[in-house]
Structure 1
Amino acid sequence: MQYGPAVRRRKLGAELRALRARAGLTSGEAARLVGWHQSKVSRIETGRSGVKPADVRRLLDAYDVRDPELYELLVVLAGADGDGRHHWWHAYRGLLPSTYSDFISLEAQAGAMRTLENSVVPGLLQTPEYARAVTRAALDGVPDGKIDALVEMLVKVRLARQAVLRSNKPLRLSAVLDEAVLRRTVGGPEVMARQLDRLREAAHLPHVRIQVLPFGVGAHIGVTGPFVIFSFTNRSDLDVVVLDHLTSSLYLEQREDLQSYEEAFNSLQGQALSPEDTLDFIAGVADGA
C-alpha cells in the first residue's frame, strides 16, 4: 500500500522500463540517447526519484512511442509540466492536497471508473448545491472567516472534474450506491430533490451505469467502506484502487489488491438493483416512497 505520488512514480517507472526494453535498448544506451547518466534512467525506472514531464517526453521520443493516448497518460503521471503545458487543476497547486491532485489527474486520464459509495453521491454526479452542502459538512471545524472561500474553491474544482463525463472520449462510470446515499437529506429537501433528478439524468447517459444497493440486501462486502477503481484503456498494469480517509487517500496498485476490489465490485453489482430498476427506485425516493 502506498500513497499517490509514490504509486505514480512506480507505475511510470515500470512502464518506461518496459518501453525501453521493447525498443531494444539497455538503460545505458537509453541514457546516452538523451544525454544523461545511466543512474538517472535507473532511478526513474525504479521509482526512486521523480521525473519532469519534459524528461518523460525525451524518453518516449527516444523509444519511438507513437501511441498518443499512452504518450499523454505517461506525461500526466509525471505531474505538472515545466515547459508551459498545464492541465486545469494545476491552477490550484498549493491549494489542494497533493493526494487530491493525484486523484484528479488519474480521473482525467482513466478510461473507466468504478466506485462504491455508502454515504454521499459521487463527486462526478453532484449538483452544485449538493456539492456545496457536502463540502461545508466535511470542513467542520474550519474558522468561519475562512470557510466560505474554501468551500467555493473546492466546489468549483469538483464541478470542473465533471468535464470527464462530457469529453469526446468520456470516462465510463459505473457507480454502486448504497440506499443510504439516496435517503440522506443533504442540504435540505429541495437540494436533495434536484440531486435525485441529476442522478436520473446521468443514468441515461450511455457511458454511465448507476445501481442502487437497497437496505434489503443486508450486510455486504461494501460495508467496509467506499472505494474507487481507475482503469486505463489497454493498460491494465496502470490500474489503481483509491481509498479515502479523513485526512488522506490511500492508493493500492498490487495485482492481488486490484483483483480483490474488482471481485468485490462485481459482487456488489450482482446484489444491487439493475440500472432500469434503479431508475424506478430513485423515482420512488423522490416521490417520498
Structure 2
Amino acid sequence: MPKDFKSNLQNRAVGRALALWRKESGLSLSKVGERVGWSTAKTSMMQNALIPIVDADVVALALVYGVSSRRRMPVVLGAQRARDPSRFDLLNDGVTTCVGWTYAEVEAEASHVQMVALDVLPPVVRTPEYDAALRSAQLGAIPQQDHRHYGDDQRNRVMQHLGQGPSLRMDLAVGEAVLRRPIGSPLVMADQLLRLVALAELPGLRVRLVPDELGAFPGMTSFSLLSSREDEFQPVVYLDTLHGGTWLEAESECSLYAETFDRLAALALPAADTIERLVEAAQSLKDSAS
C-alpha cells in the first residue's frame, strides 16, 4: 500500500463498481487472482479502494467478470480521473461520463457523520409525509435527481447501525427555524418532530438544537461532514445545491467545516433541552391543527 495514500471519492466509486462486478460473477477472490495473475490481496484492496486503481487493471477484471464494454468504460474512465480529477475534467471539458457515487454510498462507508440542518431536516430522519411534502414543493423549481435520495432500505440500514451504537455515530445540529418552517400540514410537521425525538433515543444519534436567541453563529450554512475509520479515507463534506450536490475533499476545506461544527456544537442546547423544545413545538402544532 502506498505510504500516506488517501483514496478520493472517484477512486472509491471505482472500487464499489469492481466489488459489484465480482459479486455478480460469483467468482472467489482466489479464482480471480488465478485468472488475472495477481494476489487475492490486491483484488480485495482494489474493491475496498485502499490502493490507487489503474485503468489497465480495471480492464483486466472486466474481462474476467465478463462485463460489457458499455458498463466497463465509465469505470475505466473513473480510474483515469481518480489520479487527477481536476486535470481530467479540464482536458475532457465535462463531456466524459465516469462512474459516480451517491451520498448514501459514501455514508455507508462512514463511521461518523456530523450534519448541520438550518433550512430543512436531512433525508435520513424524514418521515415519508414530510419528505413527500418537501419534494412536492420543489417540483418545477429543482430538477429531479437522486443524488441524496434515501430509499427505505438505505434508511433502515442507517437506523440499524445507529441503534447498534459503535458502528455509526451521527451528530445532528438543527436550527430552531426548522421547527417553524411549515412543510406539509401542521400534523405532518408535528409527526416529523416527534419522530426526531424518538430517533434521538438511538445510541448512535445525538440531536442538538441551535436556538434562535443565539443570533449569528459561525458557519451559517447546512452541510454534512463524513468521516471513516480507515486512514485511507479522508473526511469529506457534502453541500446540497440545486444541481444535485457538491463534494469537498481538500483537507484545507474540510477542516474549516470540522472546526465550524465543533464550535456550533458547543453553542447548541444540551440534549435534554433540545428534546423539550422539540416536544413543545410538536404539541403546539397538534393543538393548532385541532
Cα pair distance change 1:62/1:238, threshold 3 Å: farther
* Alignment partners' CA distance in 1, 2:98 and 2:280: 40
* Alignment partners' CA distance in 1, 2:204 and 2:100: 24
User: If the length of structure 2 is used for normalisation, what is the TM-score?
Assistant: 0.64
Query: Which of these residues, 147, 167, 173, is aligned with residue 170 of structure 2?
Result: 173
List alignment gaps of at least 5 residues for structure 1. 1-15, 21-43, 85-96
Residue 53 of structure 1 aligns with which residue? Answer: 18
* Alignment partners' CA distance in 1, 2:230 and 2:99: 25
Is 1:188 aligned to residue 206 of structure 2? no
* Alignment partners' CA distance in 2, 1:271 and 1:64: 46
Alignment of 1:1-289 (within 5 A): 17-18=2-3, 53=18, 62=39, 64=41, 73-74=48-49, 101-141=101-141, 157-162=150-155, 163-167=157-161, 170-223=167-220, 225-235=221-231, 237-288=233-284
Q: Secondary structure at the match of 1:266?
A: helix
Listed one character per residue, the Cα deviations across residues 85-104 of structure 1 (whole Å, up to 9, x for unaligned) are xxxxxxxxxxxx99994312
Listed one character per residue, the Cα deviations across residues 38-71 of structure 1 (whole Å, up to 9, x for unaligned) are xxxxxx9x97x96751699869x738379x8x77
CA contact (8 A) 1:178 1:214 kept: yes
CA contact (8 A) 1:242 1:250 kept: yes
Cα pair distance change 1:139/1:160, threshold 3 Å: farther
User: If the length of structure 1 is used for normalisation, what is the TM-score?
Assistant: 0.64
Q: Structure 1 stretch 185-194 or stretch 237-246: which is displaced more?
A: 237-246
Aligned-pair Cα RMSD in Å:
4.2
CA contact (8 A) 2:206 2:271 kept: yes
CA contact (8 A) 2:14 2:49 kept: no
Cα pair distance change 1:157/1:265, threshold 3 Å: closer
List alignment gaps of at least 5 residues for structure 2. 23-28, 54-60, 67-96, 286-290
Residue 93 of structure 2 aligns with which residue? Answer: none
Residue 23 of structure 1 aligns with which residue? Answer: none
Cα pair distance change 1:265/1:99, threshold 3 Å: farther
* Alignment partners' CA distance in 1, 2:160 and 2:251: 31
Count how many residue pairs are aligned between Structure 1 and Structure 2.
224
* Identity score, percent: 26
Q: Secondary structure at the match of 2:198?
A: helix
Cα pair distance change 1:99/1:275, threshold 3 Å: farther
* Alignment partners' CA distance in 2, 1:250 and 1:156: 14
Cα pair distance change 1:73/1:218, threshold 3 Å: farther
Cα pair distance change 1:176/1:157, threshold 3 Å: closer
Cα pair distance change 1:154/1:139, threshold 3 Å: farther
